[in-house]
């Protein structure tokens, strides 16, 4: 009969999941997962108390998840795993806009609106920003039918889903670019903010001696027909957390200057007062065939 | 500023958790965990869809946990991790009774009862078994004050906490051994049974093409003053699942013969009818100093 020991447990467990697995891909993933999981426990000589703390940590992480909070995505983010998966799947070779983490606060189904919209649904005296740019292919050809799904925190450091006082879809929208690829919208200038620290992830950051801040950013999922969509951020140049993002998601090419603008005509067009803050970012999507 | 790439993400994440960690041990564990987690994702080139299925799987596993069900312990068990941790922490060198998994159905606080007790609280016509044995040190000296915390499934393949019809503490007790180290109790002969398959763990076993069965066993946590406690099972010799335990927890030394006995005197002492089933197992605890 089987006598499981430290010497044979890993091979036996891998064999158990790979011999009869219905899908070869599943067997490959489970085999690799088991090998790394066992190797981790052996490498650190995990004690039973530490193992149990891990069980309790994972259980609490699951309990923290609901329709507005995904603590396991946040955990993946702060361990750098989300960015590893992003990098594996979106090697752009410098040809398209770089991607970065989705984060745990994306909500599907934001209302579709025309370019030029103001997405601030509550006035809390925030600094506004005019965001403009284009969506093109790698050759600079405008992509008709491009859509920018945008979301961000408010000046109070909270996403609408974290803030009971925020109107629904505050600082969220799906913005339809013009057929010439140009888009614009008015929003609040994003601020740096801490990821939620009232759950297991907060305790882990504290144990690791890490701050919880993310540098200020706007989230985007940019799509266009027949092109690979990109999930990314625009970061605010000069933010003090650009060098120590809690979720390791910064990329130099995604940082943009938020500059003061005194263009009276533009101000009038968007209902702003001079001087106002402006940022420009041009998104480049790879064709679905080459991505 | 930091530009995170596939080449530097692992080193950057490890450094983030080890530079300022409050406890060196925590830094060591987190560093190893991050290295293995990233290496796993790179090794299998994890897709975003697979990553998201993993997030959903872990979330569902957390949601499945309650006061009577610990799906993360079950997950650790079926991936062989629990046995790796057990083996790391309880290398006995052949001197003491081997340990094995705790499993997800242990409940603290079972009533303390004297040796000789019948722990069947509901008659469902099961085959009964007389369990006898001793608790000694490695030299065979009886350990006064030894206690055996025992629990098991009923013949219907369910632990009391899984079975709304079962009386509280059915087939569970803390049995006080005599000062000469001897103990005995009457229970149901254990049967092989499937681990719960109505949650994420069940789906994982199915994806891996594995059956969910555990060979029949009695659970024990055996303790004695000044000695290392042992968390273990007695397995039923001849069980068809001894070679393919769903949680990789079998050890040859923990298998015992459940034999027919026609001792009229013994039968009368325990209120049994001949022939009855009997099993004997002698537990050996290492002294706390040498363990």
Q: What are phi and psi of A222, to 5 degrees?
A: -105, 125
Interface of B with A in 188-227 (CB under 8 A): 204, 206-210
Q: Which residue of B has its CA nearest to A238?
A: B1
Report the pLDDT value the prediction gives residue B291, as an integer from 0 to 100: 52
Report the pLDDT value the prediction gives residue A159, as an integer from 0 to 100: 95
Q: Does A29 touch chain B (CB under 8 A)?
A: yes
Long-range residue pairs from A259-268, CB within 8 A, at least 24 positions apart, any chain: A261/A130, A266/A130
Per-residue pLDDT, averaged over B234-246, amounts to: 97
Contact B63 A60 (CB under 8 A): no
Residue B92, pLDDT > 80, answer: no
Nearest neighbour of A84 by CB, restricted to B41, B244, B252: B41
Contacts B16 to A, Cβ<8 Å = 80, 208, 210, 244, 248
Q: A–B: how many Cβ contacts below 8 A? A: 244
Q: Does A53 touch chain B (CB under 8 A)?
A: no
Contact A4 B72 (CB under 8 A): no
Q: Are strands B112-114 and B172-176 parallel, antiparallel or unpaired?
A: parallel
At B27, the pLDDT band (50, 70, 90 cuts) reads very high
Contact A244 B88 (CB under 8 A): no
3-state secondary structure B190-211: CCCEECCCCCHHHHHHHHCCCC
Contact B38 A252 (CB under 8 A): no
Contact B51 A242 (CB under 8 A): no
Q: Does B270 touch chain A (CB under 8 A)?
A: no
Q: What are phi and psi of A82, to 5 degrees?
A: -60, -40
Nearest neighbour of B248 by CB, restricted to A4, A20, A65: A4
Contact B2 A242 (CB under 8 A): yes
Structural contact between residues A166 and A154, judged by C-beta atoms closer than 8 angstroms: yes
Report the pLDDT value the prediction gives residue A290, as an integer from 0 to 100: 64
Give dist(CA A155, CA A255) in Å, integer. 19
The separation between the first and the last C-alpha atoms of chain B, rounded to the nearest angstrom, is 51
Poorest-pLDDT segment among B93-102, B137-146, B251-260:
B93-102
- A147 to chain B, closest Cα gap in Å: 21
Q: Which residue has the higher pLDDT, B290 or B283?
A: B283
Instruction: Note the pTM of the prediction, 2 decimals.
Output: 0.91
Nearest neighbour of A28 by CB, restricted to B44, B47, B83: B44
Best mutation target among A12, A31, A33 (most B Cβ atoms within 10 Å) is A33
Interface of A with B in 74-93 (CB under 8 A): 76, 79-89, 91
Tokens 């006035």 locate to A123
- A287 to chain B, closest Cα gap in Å: 19
Q: What are phi and psi of B20, to 5 degrees?
A: -120, 15
Contact B37 A36 (CB under 8 A): yes
Q: Which residue of A has its CA nearest to B238?
A: A1
Contact A207 B21 (CB under 8 A): yes
Domain ranges, ordered by start, for chain A: 9-66, 76-285
Interface of B with A in 226-245 (CB under 8 A): 242-245
Per-residue pLDDT, averaged over B140-144, amounts to: 96
Q: What are phi and psi of B233, to 5 degrees?
A: -125, 160
DSSP A147: E
Residue B93, pLDDT > 80, answer: no
Strand partners, A113: A175
Question: In sequence order, what E strands does A224-275 have?
Answer: 230-236, 255-256, 259-261
Contacts A48 to B, Cβ<8 Å = 85-86, 89
3-state secondary structure A17-55: HHCCCCCHHHHHHHHHHHHHHHHHHHHHCCCHHHHHHHH
List Cβ neighbours of B214 (8 Å cut-off, separation of 6 or more): B192, B193, B194, B195, B241, B245, B246, B247, B249
Q: What CATH class does B93-195+210-284 carry?
A: mainly beta
At B290, the pLDDT band (50, 70, 90 cuts) reads low
In CATH, the number for domain A76-285 is: 2.60.130.10
Along the 291 residues of chain A, how does pLDDT read in single tens digits?
Answer: 778 899 999 999 999 999 988 899 999 999 999 999 999 999 999 999 999 999 999 999 999 999 888 999 999 999 999 999 999 998 877 789 999 999 889 999 999 999 999 999 999 989 999 999 999 999 999 999 999 999 999 999 999 999 999 999 999 999 999 999 999 999 999 999 999 999 999 999 999 999 999 999 999 999 999 999 999 999 999 999 999 999 999 999 999 999 999 999 999 999 999 999 999 999 999 998 765
ipTM attached to this prediction = 0.91
What tokens does A247 get? 């979720």
Give dist(CA B81, CA A4) in Å, integer. 12
Report the pLDDT value the prediction gives residue B91, as an integer from 0 to 100: 82
Report the pLDDT value the prediction gives residue A291, as an integer from 0 to 100: 52
């Amino acid at each position: 009969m089987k006598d499981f020991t430290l010497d044979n447990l890993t091979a036996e467990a891998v064999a158990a999941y790979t011999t009869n697995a219905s899908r070869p891909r599943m067997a490959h993933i489970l085999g690799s997962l088991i090998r790394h999981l066992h190797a981790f426990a052996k490498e650190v000589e995990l004690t039973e108390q530490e193992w149990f703390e891990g069980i309790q940590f994972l259980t609490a992480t699951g309990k923290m998840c609901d329709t507005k909070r995904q603590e396991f995505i946040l955990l993946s983010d702060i361990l750098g795993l989300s960015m590893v998966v992003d990098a594996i799947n979106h090697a752009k070779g410098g040809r398209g806009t770089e991607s970065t983490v989705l984060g745990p606060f994306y909500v599907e189904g934001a209302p579709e609106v025309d370019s030029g919209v103001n997405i601030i649904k509550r006035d809390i005296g925030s600094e506004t920003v005019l965001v403009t740019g284009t969506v093109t292919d790698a050759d600079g050809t405008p992509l008709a039918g491009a859509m920018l799904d945008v979301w961000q925190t408010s000046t109070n450091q909270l996403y609408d889903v974290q803030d009971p006082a925020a109107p629904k879809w505050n600082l969220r929208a799906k913005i339809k670019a013009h057929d010439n690829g140009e888009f614009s919208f008015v929003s609040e200038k994003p601020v740096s903010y801490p990821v939620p620290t009232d759950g297991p992830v907060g305790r882990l950051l504290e144990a690791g001696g890490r701050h919880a801040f993310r540098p200020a950013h706007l989230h985007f999922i940019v799509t266009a027909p027949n092109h690979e969509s990109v999930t990314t951020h625009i970061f605010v140049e000069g933010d003090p957390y650009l060098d120590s993002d809690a979720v390791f998601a910064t990329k130099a090419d995604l940082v943009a200057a938020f500059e003061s603008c005194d263009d009276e005509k533009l101000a009038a067009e968007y209902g702003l007062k001079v001087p106002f803050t402006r940022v420009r970012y041009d998104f480049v999507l790879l064709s679905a065939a080459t991505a």
